[in-house]
Chain A
Amino acid sequence: MAAELATPPADLRQFLRVSPDEAFVSLDLAVDGIKCAACMATIERAMSREPGVVGARVNLGAKRLHVTFERREADPARILRRLDELGFKAYPFSPRQVEDSKAQEMRRLLRCLGVAAFASMNVMLLSVAVWSGHETGLDPTTRDLFHWLSALIALPTAAYSGRPFYESAIGALKRRRVNMDVPITLGICLALVMSVFEVLRHGEHAYFDGVVMLLFFLLIGRTLDQVMQRRTQLVAANLAALRAEFATKRLPDGTWRDVPIDMVEPGDVILVRIGDRVAADGRIEEGRSDIDQSLVTGETAHRAVRPGDEVYAGTQNLGGALVVRVLKSQEGTLLAGVERLLAQAAQTKGAYIRLADRAARLYPPFVHTVALLTFLGWMMMGIGWHDALMIAITVLIITCPCALGLAVPAVQVVAAGAMFRNGILIQSGDAIERLAEIDRVVFDKTGTLTLPAADIANREEIPAEDVMLAARLALTSRHPLAAAIAAQDKAAKPLATAREVPGEGVKACHAGQVVRLGSPAFCEAMPEAEALATRFPGASIVAFRHGERLALFAIRQPYREDAEATVAALGTMKLPTEIISGDRPRAVAEAARDLGIANWRGGALPGDKVTWLEQMKRFGARPLMVGDGLNDAPALAAGHASIAPASASQLAQTQADFLLVGQRLGAIVPAIRIARKARWLMLENLWISVLYNLIAVPVAILGHATPLVAALAMSGSSIIVTLNALRAGRGAGEKS
């Protein structure tokens, strides 16, 4: 049968990328364990000695390795082996299209920023001369020369560096909407036209400096926004690669081969070995087994399956090898249901509007009305349309949202950095604001409050010699529960006579007697096992029989080390906690009692979780959902904010606003604290911008906003806002 097959080597060729001139191929690897410069040097030196390798470069920030080979001598498997010898686990991946386009976008922004920085420095150099010339009597010819030079620099710069804003503004107008970039574009264009016009008629004031400086500050805001998104993406992509998702697929000639999961299509036949995760939804064609569905449903009791039953991606195969025919995901009832719930949750969630967007919505009508009124007002005062228009345009320039554009992104970048140092990864832009508003925390149990790996709960009740012998037996089995027992004695050696009885356990001869480890039925221990199961409601029972001796292991997932401390810390922050789990009510009740959580619900289907959260929201509550399973994905989408551990199912990870990197659940606490502080600073920054306008706009309306005043006001407010944002990372990040 298929189970006896040796593991075929994974096909690494599809990860290779061919260079345009076809002489070289390259491979990208996410490398686990790169910590310092020494690792970087070790890897690069070792790689450059491998035959066929032309170059190897480690990206220390992204924890990645890029290797280039001679095309004919490329041997990626060898590279992986060498890295393994050096003590680094490496996982090949193909950089996603999104990531490439984001990197390009980032470079484009940086180019625009560089050009704007150059232009504002040089235009300012000329402008300072003009301004001081007003006092010292600069002769008009020289002033005109300086203005023309400024125009020569500012016009191409505005055409080049302003493109991100123009494109976004035109895009918005095409969709018949108005965003922040519309008044920016309008302001820039009007200011340039007016300045050129002024220079032509030898006027005193030109606003070229204001325009390039405005572009410079706004581009800083945009770039900061991108920096945050990019950092998140890099780490998320590495996490995905680290999970190394392979499936064993049957090829047309009947042989089996490991392929990356995205190459498995409906109709394919895959092999799921004992202990493996099922790679795709499908129907069993051959084999019987027990399936651990805890990552999918939260249920810790195992489900027995046989040919004809459906199995879901992400569940773990415990009993025997299975041959599965892959179904379309629509046909898998569970996933289809989860997806329907997700769409529903996304609809109800649409209500949240970011702080920056709320500000942006108020901004254009306000600015345009004020500018128009100023124009009409001065016309009525009878100063002539030229002067009235000049003043109206200075109002447009001076209200341009430098500070507003920086107010939120600057805080977000600083807060994201502080969270990153605490082991929290932000996945969506408005997540910080939403996390700051939460008033209760809802946990999933399995995989969230507990660790994904199992452990023995009643260890101290079992004689040491039984544990040792059981550990030796367990080494022969690939069953995940056996791994928990085998881990008890690191020095154990497998028994020579041991052999696995598929779906039941392990049997061996030891000191003239038969020893068995496996299901209670296999060891004839049903009544005892039932008694133990009532004492440990959440546990799976494994029996061990050695002649007359009998030992029963209650195996369950232990709580995360800091689960109880986290719940307590949330309590002191006046955040009530709840558990809502798909596991049996008895097991959930036990966890709630152990961790000191008063409210709990067990046996909840994915839909129940969503309903429960929506009910809370209807009563005005803002729940933070913390969960990991496929069944939690809709609930994560429905929560006001959501967090998933890095071990979570892929769907849960894509739905969560934040990812916990590492085992610590406690990172939630500083994350909430940082988010609250960040939201406070964002509001503060927005108010600083408003205050700035309250002072600057009347000055402009009265016609006193010379280019010098505009330059001071705009740069001053931007710098204040940025300095204020730097406070987001301080103080809040201390380890609890």
Chain B
Amino acid sequence: MNILLILIPLALALGGLGLAAFLWSLSNRQYEDLDGAAWRALMDDDTSPLPRPEDGR
């Protein structure tokens, strides 16, 4: 049963990683424009992404 001591924290850590990624992308406003994001992936411009909107929007 000692294997549980490794596996359970591992499972929780992986899940937590996913949650952290979701919360990060949410606070980074990646869900504001799903239509646009779908196309942006295909563009091969080298323009750097816009700095985070500074005005709290």
Please list the residues of chain A having a beta carbon within 8 angstroms of any beta carbon in chain B: 17-21, 23-24, 26, 36-37, 40-41, 44-45, 48, 54-62, 66, 68, 95, 100, 103, 107, 110-111, 114-115, 117-118, 121-122, 125-126, 142, 145, 149, 153
Contacts A45-B45, A60-B35 known; 15 new A-B pairs at CB < 8 A = A20-B55, A21-B54, A26-B54, A37-B40, A40-B36, A40-B40, A41-B43, A41-B45, A57-B50, A59-B36, A62-B33, A118-B18, A121-B15, A122-B11, A142-B4
Q: In the complex, what residues of A have CB within 8 A of residue B16's CB? A: 118
From 17 to 57 in chain B, residues with beta carbon under 8 angstroms from any chain A beta carbon are 18-19, 22-23, 26-27, 31-36, 39-40, 42-43, 45, 47, 50-51, 53-57
Q: How far is the CA of A41 from the CA of B36 in the complex (A)?
A: 10
B51 surroundings in chain A (CB, below 8 A): 54-55, 68
CB atoms of B19 and A114 under 8 A apart: yes
Sample (5) of A-B pairs whose CB atoms are under 8 Å apart = A24-B55, A26-B55, A61-B33, A100-B57, A114-B26
Given A37-B43, A55-B51, A57-B50, check contact A95 B57 (CB 8 Å): yes
Distance, CA A55 to CA B49, complexed state (A): 8
CA distance A68 to B52 in the complex (A): 10
Q: Name the 3 nearest CB pairs between A and B, nearest first.
A: A37-B39, A60-B36, A55-B50
Q: Are B47 and A44 within 8 A (Cβ)?
A: yes
B11 touches A125 (CB 8 A): yes
B residues near A (Cβ < 8 Å) are 1, 4, 8, 11-12, 15-16, 18-19, 22-23, 26-27, 31-36, 39-40, 42-43, 45, 47, 50-51, 53-57
Q: Which of A17, A23, A118 contacts B19 (CB 8 A)?
A: A118
Q: How far is the CB of B45 from chain A (nearest CB, A)?
A: 7
Q: Least Cβ distance of B3 to chain A in Å?
A: 12
Residue pair B42, A37 in contact (C-beta under 8 Å): yes
A107 contact from B11, B26, B54, Cβ within 8 A: B26
The CA of A56 and the CA of B50, in the complex, are separated in Å by 7
Residue numbers in A under 8 Å from B12 (CB-CB): 122, 153
A24 to B53, CA, bound (A): 10
Q: Which of B34, B47, B57: most chain A CB closer than 10 A?
A: B57
- Determine the chain B residues whose CB is within 8 A of the CB of A20 once the complex forms: 54-56
Q: Tell me if A66 and B26 are in contact (CB < 8 A).
A: no
Cross-chain contact of A60 among B22, B39, B56, B57 (Cβ < 8 A): B39
Residue of A at shortest CB range from B29? A107
- Closest residue of chain A to B54, judged by CB? A19
In the bound complex, CA of A21 to CA of B51 (Å): 14
